[in-house]
Structure 1
Amino acid sequence: MNLELLRAQLAPLGPSMVVVALCSARLLPVAFLCPLLGGQAAPTTVKLALVLSLALFLHHVAGVSLPEPVETPLQLAAMAVKELTYGTSVGLVAALPFDAARMGGRFIDLFRGTSAEASLPVAGTRESATGDALYQLLVGLVVTGGLMPVVLSGLVRGFGWVRLGAYVPTEAAVMHVVGLAGGAMATGLAVGAPIAAAVMAVDCLLGMVSRAAPQVNLQDLGAPLRILAGGALLWLAVGILCERLLAGFLSVDGALFRLGEVAR
């Protein structure tokens, strides 16, 4: 008797549970890809709790719902796969500015040395210190500068642009994401290009001096000079680099809107 009573009380919650599950399926890849919602740094339990909280907010406060009820488990599974696919696209687009910062830092360290710190004895590792620094710097600027609602508003409005179950995986959507990824790579190369040019100038200068004075041994000076020249230019140009990266971040809202247009 108690089991039947419990089943009767839970039956009206079925449609709400389905909507929350589909909202969570769309938000889950975003939480794992975009650092503003956790990314790789936050524990999995924190990201799952955030996803569930946002899904409940979207359903009970924002009014997100299904136009038609889900009748079979197979239909629910198909819709969940569609939401996971679309959420992955949204997460990739939202994370591209931060990936551009990391790519730019790795490009800089590629010219300064496989890792600038690893070129020195008993210092650092072979990881890209500059890439991680620019990545964390952009995250800090977005959070402290009040720009985090740009992504959050895009995610919330995305449920109005592409309603639950309305996502259609089209070629236009794929090409849009690919084009944005190419733009992020171009931004990363543009961020690292001035430092790469300075490092190449240092190598050229050392080569000219070695050719003019072969008796002078400059092999041991190459790595420290590349580190110092690249680090000095990076320190002087960090403001310009941040402006370039923030400009890419501010374009995320428009990119998400365009993705919603071509994916429905």
Structure 2
Amino acid sequence: MAQRRMFSNRITNSARFIKMPLSSQALYFHLGLHADDDGVVEAFSIMRQTGAVEDDLRILVAKGFVSVLNDDLVTYITDWNENNKIRADRKVDSIYKDLLLKIMPTAELKQPKPRADTGKVAGRPMDNQWTAQVRLGKDRLGKDSKPLSGNPDPIPYGEIISYLNQVTGKTFKNVESHKKLIRARWNEKATLDDFKKVIDNKSSEWLGTDMAKYLQPSTLFGNKFDQYLNQTNAIKQKGDSYGGIEF
């Protein structure tokens, strides 16, 4: 597989490309850098490595820059042939070639030819040269954040919101604005127990004080989530005691 990748200015300087969020633009470049010689790449692993979120890939799909081939986010870069001109005697067929042609039978793929120096076709790389395919568990892409396969989203939004309501006595709803925050933390490897611990930590500290008004998803599940999760003492000690007497 070729080690150098190119990008066409006609694509990356277009208004259609520039109007996208910078995070989607960055994801496009990373996908292009890691794609095989047919323009196919396992987007899920690239998103994890770069911190991209499902909305970044969804925008690329909506704008027509990529096509997602299956539920594991194997992705084809639609302008691949314009971006890259790979010599036929250096070209290696994608391991997803059959899948690509099944989903996109009109895709124009360069056919490999024998190398001028050896007379042999390049062929596919050894198995250990490919990144292992990662099955999607928590991150799937689809319309309105639903999985492409149509399976239920595995993130326990309802249980997290219900626990928050139970501890704080509030009545937050399981709406998309709250789910978006939960999803972002979940994609950062947070677990159900982590969410409950954050709720417990801040509730024990803030309930009954003026800070109680901040016991809400936008505060608890925002950018300070990790800080709240790892605070050492949720309940502030008034002082040490001996024999029940504080000093």
Which structure would you say has the larger RCO, counting Cα contacts within 8 Å and 6 or more residues apart? 1
Q: State if a TM-score over 0.5 links the two structures.
A: no
- TM-score under structure 2 length normalisation: 0.31
Higher strand share: 2
